[in-house]
Structure 1
Amino acid sequence: MSIDNTALGTIDGGLTSAEVAERVAAGKTNDVPARASRTVGQIVRANVLTRINAIYGVLFAIIMSTGYFLDGMFGLLIIFNSGIGMIQELRAKRTLEKLAIVGQARPTVRRDGATVELAPSEIVLDDVIELGPGDKIVVDGVVLAADSLEIDESLLTGESDPVVKHPGDQVLSGSFVVAGGGAYRATKVGRDAYAAKLAEEASKFTLVKSELRSGIDKILKFITFLLIPAGALTIYNQLFNVNESLADALRGMVAALVPMVPEGLILMTSVAFAVGVVRLGQRQCLVQELPAIEGLARVDVVCADKTGTLTENGMRLSEVRSTNGDASVSLALAALARTEARPNASLLAIAEAYPDDPGWHTTAVAPFSSARKWSGASFTDHGHWVLGAPDVLLSFDDPVRAEAEQIGSKGLRVLLLGQTDSLEPLGSARAAALVVLEQKVRPDAKDTLDYFASQNVTVKVISGDNALSVGAVASSLSLPNSANPIDARNLPSDNEELASVLQERAVFGRVTPAQKRSMVSALQSREHTVAMTGDGVNDVLALKDADIGVAMGSGSPATRAVAQIVLLDNKFATLPYVVGEGRRVIGNIERVSNLFLTKTVYSVLLALMVGIAQVNYPFLPRHVTVIAWFTIGIPAFVLSLAPNNERARSGFVARVMRMAIPSGAVIATATFISYMLVHTKASSEQSGTTALITLMIVALWVLAIVARPYKWWKVALITLMSAASLLLFVLPFTQRFFALDPSNNDYTARAIGIAAVGIVLVEIVWWVQRKLMPPSVEG
């Protein structure tokens, strides 16, 4: 769009280069970062200064003070956890920032009398910024020129009706243009702008505000409080009941406390999120809010537009059917195609078909609005002409309207060219011609819809086009429930009644922006997790209210600004990969959480049992470190990156604990029994080894359960971890290093026998869980 200099006045040809340099030097710039991503320093601090590292740091210092340096191996986890977390988040940060630059809205600004596209951060105070349909207003300002300019301020005020702006009116950052065009002068930039702080907060690279993260945080807080009484009981028992030396008592306390902390759970969560961002980035998908990855895993309804989603964005003029023999039809179409500075796809197709300017002088313009569904103009000596939806512009009984619906039922877009007495033509236009446009169905649309159907994700096609036309396209793609499309003008306004209709039908035409928003709300009222896709300014409100807003990269700046996900490649076919990545991340985090929390449960219970029985703690800190390596740490890292397509559900903490508590109780009981049966007859090394054998076997079986259903690589992983565990007890070096003594075959046989009973009990727990509630994750 280019606003004529004469409309703005000669002074409003924009700032000169010297004036821009002067304002930059004075700091009068729009210095709000495009993405408020964490700095490298913040990432380092966030990964080093954690609750887990603080606990491990204190325990590591205690062990170092006793002189048992080999038992401080768990201290390496501080470096390992922090290092991997930082590396993955830095990778994600680089990926996000590169994609954010590609997907960034670039407003058109007047500089030195010419128009240039600039990044929002390059705007300075007093810049003249041009506006067209779909443009986001990036800084506060005052309107200089307006051509039927309508601004939607609903994201700021909550009022959905567009506001007509005139020269001298104020515009606020965070609003967007729904119709018309114009220009405004920037009066507040940077952090002074109305929506700057809000936008900065909304676009932060964050790992919080999700059910998953909050659930894990609750678990960690509970465990932190549990450590104090557990540590006190253990050291009291070691000092006063068992009469150990202070150093040995401290070593026993550390050995009891270290496995209570699910040290890798936060790491695995951070890594899974960050790797998800990088993987999606490789598919040209920009994740603007990380919690969106979790939301994607829960999506069960996708609301999609027809244009740009199921069909290509571009259109081609197929034919023009004159209805009254008026020879000026082609001239009127050519004139209308030139009335809007930023024509939509329909006007572009018409302009391509009629390249010659008829020279009609325009006296008034009604720009296209998705709420009105028509545009028009008044011409000197040629009257008032409108172009838009036949069922909006014509009376109900007009035969041309029936003809238009018959053409539209074949999947074509049909517009009416009509004449009116004024630019308020609802139901009163005189038909001059039917303009038939063709849209090409995307070649990958059917495969995408088939994928969602196979994953039990319902697709609703919600379009502003004629319902029969939308239904024809949807039916050609075999979309379920597409046989009976509904005209949205006949939809009930009551939220409950609307939800009932949405449950039964899949295709809706003539939907207004407000109705799209109501549809999202109605679906959510039925406990659906809704993803909304869109590219036009008419989709903004629905995108904002949906659980997950997905915008096309070629969409309007306002659409991209409110969406959590931006498909920079403009392909609807990318969405299955996006949903699949969300499921992989959340499903795998839940899977490995079972491992970490089972360890926490059996560690707490074992410490209590030992304290009540007033016996030595069976393990050394080095023992619990190696248990964590082979039964949890390495397997969890591999499992967290595995494929996973099962839709996630809410109730993460309760579901994980239902598996972790009984499994942990079985392991703790089996280990305690194995230890108590030999500890009075054997040396501390032999009794500890016997208990360790039992614990390792049952813990590896829990790993085998969590890894189900099996695939070759999962079987290989379990086999490798089992073999590594076996070598601990077989190799002379590892026997000495880890203070193990499996030389008594009778004790070893007892350990294996008790472990077998433990395996049976854990299996029973798993089968009961499956009967009571189907598993939430399958891989």
Structure 2
Amino acid sequence: MKTGDQLVVDGVVLHADGLEIDESLLTGEADPVDMQIDAQAMSGSFVVAGSGIYRATRVGRDSFAAGLTEQAKKFHQTNSELRDSINRFIRLLSYLLLPVGLLLFFSQWLRADLPIKEVLRGTIAGMVTMVPEGLVLLTSIAMAVAVIRLAAKKVLVQDLPAVEVLARVDTICVDKTGTLTEPGMQVREVLTLGENSNIGDALGALAAVESSPNPTLQAVGARYPNPLWAVQTSVPFSSSRKWSAATYAGHGSWVVGAPEMLLSDGDKVRSQADEIAADGARVLLLGTSDVIPDAELGPGRITPVALIVIDQTLRPDAAETVAYFLEQDVRVKVISGDNAATVGAIAAQAGVPGAENPFDARTLPQDTADIAKVLETTSVFGRVTPTQKQSMVDALHLQGCTVAMTGDGVNDVLALKSADLGIAMGSGSGATRAVAQLVLLDDKWSVMPSVVAEGRRVLGNIERVADVFLTKSFYAIFISVATGVFALAFPFLPRHLSLLGALTIGIPGFFLALMPNTERFRPGFFKRVLVFAAPAGAIAALAAFTSYGLALNLGEPLPSAQSAATVTLFIVATAVLVQSARPLNLIRIGIVALMILLFLGVLFVPFFSKLFALSLGPERYSLVAIVVGLVGAGCIWVMTVITDRWRRE
């Protein structure tokens, strides 16, 4: 191995001559690693200094880089409770559809002795109404609209169900670099120790002399321009020496590096540097030397001139975003490949609980269950390897958590794949963006509350829509079963149920699915919808069948009895719609009022009345229909009071 080489296989170092390897693509650690004999060298890393020999231990598909690539290529379907619940509803109804349809068909044909044309019409009306045909469509439309809204905020959604997943997340794991902090490093301040006025020029000259400056010297070079001093000799920076130096014509010898490597124990300046470094900042000492520094002989006796404080700058919106998640009862875990103390300091600035006790992942247990125990009490981790990140996500899953993971480097790929929701930065690596479900195109983590809001809107509104759609399915089942048991003609024509579906479900459901909704997510979508829809459907079916039976007993002809059942069902279904649309506002009240006006228009405008075979006149069946419908609506209100308590529990 020599400077500039990329390692293509994993291996063990046999010989090292000042060997330094950049593993930032794999671990997220910005600084090169000083490699010693028997150290593990991973494929995908680069040699940035020195030379060495290593023995290959894993090649081809077994190498670390190949393993990352293979994991990234695996398809991972987003875990969507909304999609899974809707599929369960459809599966449940599919099991009931055929037996109920057969009961309806044979009871009308064999027992009621109806003409085959009427039998088919009634059977089709009952079976088609059982299918919540618009629920999947409205769910997809609501998610698609959310995708468009998020795209306007520079959030790319790569998997449609990801819109609702973040609203269910109870733990979010974030990387420090690029998520909590701005990219790169910056000079925070320079503390002058002497009277030398060439501090800025000296720093600019030392940064410029490096052919491959590390992130620390890059920050110095970005702050101080090159004064174009004439270089006589130089000693490049090394992670083993932790200092660099240069001698300039007419300006003497200058040294910059770690205070602990340039000053003796007990030195007052070194103590001052240690105090500053305690908050996670990186501190460099700038000084002059009484000799020409040499890589072998050392820098000589150093006269301190200044302390340079360098750190990663916290994103302006990081603390606010962390506070938002904490308010929403979402745990924040900071997982980084950087030094644990540095990670803790940045996490403390962002307001992450437990940041004062960062955990060095080099001592992390191997067993997933043991890792879960550590995660219960610790929120900030440093020196975390890619496989450890994945293990930590798996450990959180063991605790029953729904986990989101943010990252920007190749070292985050495994964790992003394992998380329920992977979120990548737009400036991150191609592999990271490829496996993530969400990509923050402008790298702004502050957009996350908007993603949560969109997820809540989709979840809350689809639950409302599911309430009315599944209520329709249940009353269709109950009415069909009752019709089969009592061997009667079906109480509705297909056009009656099409009208009811449009006015009490389809049209209002479309608007409800797209309205704002800030309600917090609660697990148990499937159970909550069933708790509401089953009794509501039973009440609607009982009311409609009661009205139908009473009209027939009063001697009314079949068309009049069907009109009575339709009017009653409309009143009860409207009551269901009102309860599902809560909390009511002017827009929602207006939508419900418009649906009522449209239904009244069908009843009293001759053209529409004839088209839909509906009427409401002075006959007794009209009074029966209205009274039974109002009683059913009252029962819906009482049922809602009871089911609301159950659903909250």
Name the TM-score, length of structure 2 as normaliser.
0.76
Does the residue aligned with 1:670 lie in a helix, a strand or coil? helix
Code of the residue aligned with 1:301 in structure 2: it is T
Partner of 1:251: 121
Whole-Å Cα distance in 1 between the matches of residues 132 and 623 of structure 2?
Answer: 31
Is the contact between residue 26 and residue 409 of structure 2 (CA under 8 Å) also seen in structure 1?
A: no
CA–CA distance in structure 1, aligned partners of residues 146 and 273 of structure 2:
47
Structure 1 position 655, deviation (Å): 2.2
Shift in alpha-carbon separation, 1:147–1:718, aligned structure 2, 3 A = same
Are the equivalent residues in 2 in contact too, given 1:149–1:181 (CA < 8 A)?
no
Aligned pairs (5 A) from 1:354-503? 355=226, 358=231, 403-404=272-273, 406-408=275-277, 413-416=281-284, 434-437=307-310, 440-462=313-335, 479=351, 481=353, 485-489=356-360, 493=365, 494-502=370-378
Matched, 1:648 2:524: no
- The 1:773–1:480 alpha-carbon spacing in structure 2 relative to 1, beyond 3 Å, is farther
Establish whether residue 582 from structure 1 lines up as the match of residue 455 from structure 2.
yes
Deviation of the 1:513 alpha carbon: 3.7
Q: Distance in 1 between matches of 2:639 and 2:175?
A: 46
Instruction: Please say if residues 257 and 603 of structure 1, whose CA atoms lie closer than 8 Å, have aligned partners that are also in contact.
Output: yes
Match of 2:547 among 665, 668, 674: 674
Amino acid at match of 2:276: I
Give the secondary-structure state (helix, strand or coil) at the position aligned to 1:669.
helix
Do the aligned partners of residues 221 and 179 (structure 1) sit closer, same or farther apart at CA in structure 2, a change above 3 Å counting?
farther
Distance in 1 between residues matched to 2:144 and 2:314, nearest whole Å: 35
Letter of the 2:639 counterpart: V
Q: Which residue does the alignment assign to 2:639?
A: 765
C-alpha spacing 1:748/1:305, structure 2 compared with 1 (3 Å)? same
Once the 2 structures are TM-superposed, how far is the Cα of residue 689 of structure 1 from its aligned partner?
A: 0.8
C-alpha deviations, 1:510-530, integer Å up to 9, x for none? 453456555544444433322
Residue type matched to 2:118 in 1?
D
Matched with 1:97 is none
Q: 1:176 to 1:253 in 2, by over 3 A?
A: farther
- Distance, in Å, in 1 between the alignment partners of 2:463 and 2:45 is 43
1:563 counterpart = 2:432: no
Contact 1:496 1:522 in 2 (8 A): yes
For 2:125 and 2:44, locate their aligned partners in 1 and report how far apart those are by CA, in whole Å.
60
Deviation at 1:582, TM superposition (A): 1.8
User: Which secondary structure state, in structure 1, belongs to the residue aligned with residue 613 of structure 2?
Assistant: coil
Alignment partner, residue 94 of structure 1: none
Residues 1:362 and 1:616: Cα distance change in structure 2 (over 3 Å): farther
From 253, 259, 262, give the equivalent of 2:132. 262
Query: 1:180-329, aligned counterparts within 5 Å?
Result: 202=75, 210-313=80-183, 315-319=185-189
Q: In the aligned structure 2, how far is the partner of 1:690 from the partner of 1:179?
A: 84
2:477 and 2:264 mapped to 1: Cα distance? 76
Instruction: Name the CA shift for 1:581/1:730 in 2 (closer, same or farther; >3 Å).
Output: same
| Cα 1:149–1:689 shift into 2, 3 Å | same
What do the CA deviations read for 1:683-715 (whole angstroms, capped 9, x no partner)?
A: 111100111111111111111111111222111
Q: Determine the C-alpha separation between the residues in 2 that align with 1:764 and 1:701.
A: 11
Contact 2:21 2:46 in 1 (8 A): no
Matched residue SS, 2:625: helix
| 5+ long unaligned stretches in structure 1 | 1-5, 9-129, 136-145, 155-161, 165-169, 367-373, 424-430
**Shift in Å, 1:437:** 2.0
Return the letter of the residue paired with 1:615.
L
Q: Give the whole-Å Cα distance in 1 for the aligned partners of 2:260 and 2:543.
A: 75
Structure 2 unmatched runs, 5+ = 9-18, 28-32, 36-40, 51-59, 249-254, 288-292, 297-303
Cα contact 2:547–2:628 (8 A) shared by 1: yes
Overall identity of the aligned pairs, in %: 39
Preserved CA contact (<8 Å) 2:179 2:445: yes
Q: Tell me by how many angstroms 1:463 deviates.
A: 5.2
Equivalent residue in structure 2 for 1:754, among 604, 628, 632: 628
Query: What secondary structure sits across from 1:309 in the alignment?
Result: helix
Within a 5 Å distance, the mapping from 1:130-145 to structure 2 comes to: none
Shift of 1:602: 0.6
After superposition, the Cα gap between the structure-2 partners of 1:256 and 1:399, relative to the gap in structure 1 and judged at 3 Å, is farther
RCO higher in structure (CA 8 A, sep ≥6) = 2
> Which letter maps to 2:275?
Q
The answer on whether the counterparts of 1:242 and 1:614 sit within 8 Å (CA) in structure 2 is yes
How much has 1:535 moved relative to structure 2?
3.1
Does the aligned pair in 2 maintain the 1:513–1:542 contact within 8 Å? no
Retained in 1: the 8 A contact 2:187–2:308? Answer: yes
1:657 to partner: Cα distance: 1.2
> 1:296-345 CA distances to partner (integer Å, 9 max, x unpaired)?
1211233334554344335432445699999999979966777675854x
Residue 114 of structure 1 corresponds to none
Query: Cα 1:443–1:320, aligned 2, differ >3 Å: closer, same or farther?
Result: closer
Matches within 5 A, 1:594-613: 594-613=467-486
- Give how far 1:585 is off: 1.8
User: What secondary structure, in the 3-state scheme, does the structure 2 residue paired with 1:437 have?
Assistant: strand
Q: Deviations over 1:269-297 (max 9, x none)?
A: 22122222222111111122333223212
Q: State the Cα distance separating 1:227 from its structure 2 match.
A: 2.1
Whole-Å separation in 2 of the counterparts to 1:623 and 1:266: 23
Whichever residue aligns with residue 282 of structure 2, its letter is V
Q: Which residue of 2 aligns with 1:120?
A: none
Aligned counterparts of 2:548 and 2:265: Cα–Cα separation in 1? 86
Instruction: Give the Cα–Cα distance (whole angstroms) in 2 for the partners of residues 734 and 578 of structure 1.
Output: 44
What letter is aligned with 2:453? G
Distance 1:222 1:468, change over 3 A: closer
TM superposition shift of 1:532: 2.6
Q: Report 1:25-64 matches (<5 A).
A: none
